[in-house]
Amino acid sequence: MTKKASPTPKKNSPALKKSGTRSRKEKPVILITNDDGVTAPGIQNLVEAVRDLGKIVVVAPDKPQSGMGHAITIGQPLRLHKIHSIDNVETWSCTGTPVDCVKLAVDKVLHRKPDICLSGINHGANHSINVIYSGTMSAAVEAAIESIPSVGFSLLDYSIDADFTGARKYVRIIVEKMLASTLSKHTVLNVNIPSVPVELLKGFKICRQAYAKYVEDFIERDDPHGRHYYWLTGEFVNFDKGKDTDVWALANNYVSIVPVQFDLTNYALKTQLEKTWK
């Protein structure tokens, strides 16, 4: 109940100019977020992998937000708190979802579009259909909708003590390629990294999203008052035998890169319905 005001994001940071374009000498502004929360080892490793490539600003959820998909916060206000969890990097903790973090970062922290947005490194896989449920990837997609090229990174290891050595190596390779490229501002890449020692990684592969998903089951239990409740659980099943998928690449020790789009129109079905539905 202190009256002390929390710091507000300032508009006059010298590194952050209003204009979205930068000269060759200017360092790019790199927005970093995630869905595991601002204190997760994954986001710390992401910062360390790219720290010298630009001006880094972190705006990330104050708590784990896995499985939040593209959720946004409509019915309640959001808060931003400046914190000091990452050495020498401007870091904000946000009460909202990963997508909220991107929106707030652009409008209230950076006051401009960053040159690139990086999300992760997620603790756990976001290949195949998981791209749809993933808060990590939804933050990246949100950035791309806002004309900010973006990459979501995920390591296939849920552990708090996961080894990010290989992930950091490929984060750097991919971010350097993105910064040097002239790809569309709507570009978004879904990058997954196998959880193997770095010397076993064979390189990266450009892939399509596999039709592989969790086959759900709910575990049913009773509370002490005799009322049922259900826990979501499930078994991962790959229905897609293609060798051009992210699931195949990961099983063969490649880093998978799936270019993602936010135009969800099924054009083949559109053509079919135009002919048959009158």
From candidates 51, 133, 169, 179, binder to a copy of itself by CB under 8 A: 133
Q: Report, in Å, the least distance between residue 275 CB and a copy of itself.
A: 9
Who's near 197: CB < 8 A, 6+ residues apart?
163, 165, 166
Interface of this chain with a copy of itself, residues 20 to 49, rule: CB under 8 A = none
Instruction: State which residue, 200 or 219, has the beta carbon closest to a copy of itself.
Output: 219
Distance (Å, whole) CA 254 – CA 251? 7
**Per rule CB under 8 A, is residue 12 in the interface with a copy of itself?**
no
**Per rule CB under 8 A, is residue 177 in the interface with a copy of itself?**
yes
**Per rule CB under 8 A, is residue 132 in the interface with a copy of itself?**
yes
Q: Residue 12's beta-bridge partner residues?
A: none
**Per rule CB under 8 A, is residue 206 in the interface with a copy of itself?**
yes
Q: Report, in Å, the least distance between residue 86 CB and a copy of itself.
A: 22
Distance (Å, whole) CA 129 – CA 234? 14
Instruction: State which residue, 51 or 177, has the beta carbon closest to a copy of itself.
Output: 177
Rounded to 5°, angle at Cα 52 from 99 and 111: 40
Interface of this chain with a copy of itself, residues 136 to 165, rule: CB under 8 A = 138, 141, 145
Interface of this chain with a copy of itself, residues 227 to 246, rule: CB under 8 A = 227-232
Instruction: State which residue, 116 or 141, has the beta carbon closest to a copy of itself.
Output: 141
From candidates 15, 160, 183, 237, binder to a copy of itself by CB under 8 A: 183
Nearest to 95 by CA among 87, 85, 104, 86: 104
**Per rule CB under 8 A, is residue 15 in the interface with a copy of itself?**
no
Distance (Å, whole) CA 152 – CA 170? 12
- Token pair 């993933």 in the structure block, residue: 134
Instruction: State which residue, 22 or 79, has the beta carbon closest to a copy of itself.
Output: 79
Q: Report, in Å, the least distance between residue 244 CB and a copy of itself.
A: 9
- Over its C-alpha atoms, the chain yields an Rg (Å, rounded) of 20
Structure tokens at 198: 């770095």
Nearest to 73 by CA among 106, 105, 95: 95
